[in-house]
Amino acid sequence: LRPVALALLDLAMPRDIDAAAHRIDGVRLVDIESLADASADAPMAADVDQVRAIVGEEVAAFGAAQRAAHITPTVVALRTMAADVVAGEIARLDGRLPGLDDKQRAEITQTVRRVVDKLLHAPTVRVKQLAAEPGGAGYADALRTLFDLDQETVAAVSRATPQDRESATGTAGKNRGPA
pLDDT band at 78 (very low <50, low <70, confident <90, very high): very high
Residue 105 predicted with pLDDT over 70: yes
pLDDT band at 12 (very low <50, low <70, confident <90, very high): very high
Which position has the higher pLDDT, 65 or 41? Answer: 65
User: Which range, of 2-11, 36-45, 138-147, averages the lowest pLDDT?
Assistant: 36-45
Residue 153 pLDDT: 78
What pLDDT digit, counting tens, does each position of 153-178 carry?
788 877 776 666 555 545 444 433 33
User: Which of 133, 111, 113 lies closest to 67 in space, CA to CA?
Assistant: 133
Residue 136 pLDDT: 83
Query: Rounded to an integer, what distance in angstroms lies between the CA atom of residue 108 and that of residue 10?
Result: 82
Residue 176 pLDDT: 38
What's the burial of 83, exposed, middle or buried (CB within 10 Å: 0-12/13-18/19+)? middle
Residue 79 pLDDT: 94
User: Which of 70, 93, 75, 42 lies closest to 146 in space, CA to CA?
Assistant: 75
Residue 49 pLDDT: 83
The mean pLDDT of the chain is: 84
Highest mean pLDDT among 18-27, 71-80, 106-115, 135-144: 106-115
What pLDDT digit, counting tens, does each position of 112-124 carry?
999 999 999 999 9
